[in-house]
Structure 1
Amino acid sequence: MQELTLKHFILKQRVLDYYRHAIRVTRGIPDSQARRETVLWIRSEIERNRYIHDVGMIEDKLAAGRRELKQILPSITLTSKPI
C-alpha cells in the first residue's frame, strides 16, 4: 500500500468539502426524484474514485467534478475558494 502524504490528507479534505457543498447545492433542485438521482450520481462518482492515490489524478478528478456540477446545475454559484 502506498504511504499517504500531507498532500493526500489535504486533498481528502478538499474532496469531502466538495462533496458536502455538492449535496447542499442539490437542495435547490425542485424535483425530489431528480435531486435523489443527482445525489446518488455525485456519491457514486466519489466512491468510484475512492482508491485513486495519485495526487495529480485526484486534483484532476476534483476539477472535473466542479466543472460537471456547474454544467448540471448552471444556476448555482460555486464558492470562489477552491473546494
Structure 2
Amino acid sequence: MALSLDLQDFLLRARVLKLYRQALRIARRAPDHSRDELKQTIRREMESNRNCNDKQRIRFLISDGIERLKSLDEMLDMQGH
C-alpha cells in the first residue's frame, strides 16, 4: 500500500527530516562522553512523535525543535565544541 501525501504533508515531512539531519549534525559537535546519549535522545524525540497526524502540532514541534537546536548550538559554541 503506497502512502499518498498531499503537498502540505510532503512539505511538513521535508521540514521534519531537515530538522532531524540538523540535530544529528549538531550532535556530532558534542563532547565524546555525551554524544551517543544526545543522538539517542534526538532519535527518541523523533520516534515519539512519528505517528502524529495533527498538522498544527507538527508545526509546533518543528518550531520547538528549531529553538531547542539553537540553544544546543549556542551552548556547544560557548563550550568551544
TM-score by length of 2: 0.78
Paired amino acid for 2:10: F
Task: For 2:68 and 2:59, locate their aligned partners in 1 and report how far apart those are by CA, in whole Å.
Answer: 14
User: What is the CA RMSD across the aligned residues, in angstroms?
Assistant: 1.9
Shift of 1:70: 1.9
The SS at the match of 1:28 is: coil
Q: What is the count of residue pairs matched by the alignment?
A: 74
1:64 alignment counterpart: 64
Identity %, equivalent residues: 34
Q: Which has the larger radius of gyration?
A: 2
2:9 alignment counterpart: 8
Structure 2 residues without counterparts, runs of 5 or longer: none
Q: Which of the two has greater helix per residue?
A: 2
The runs of 4+ residues in structure 1 deviating greater than 6 Å are: none
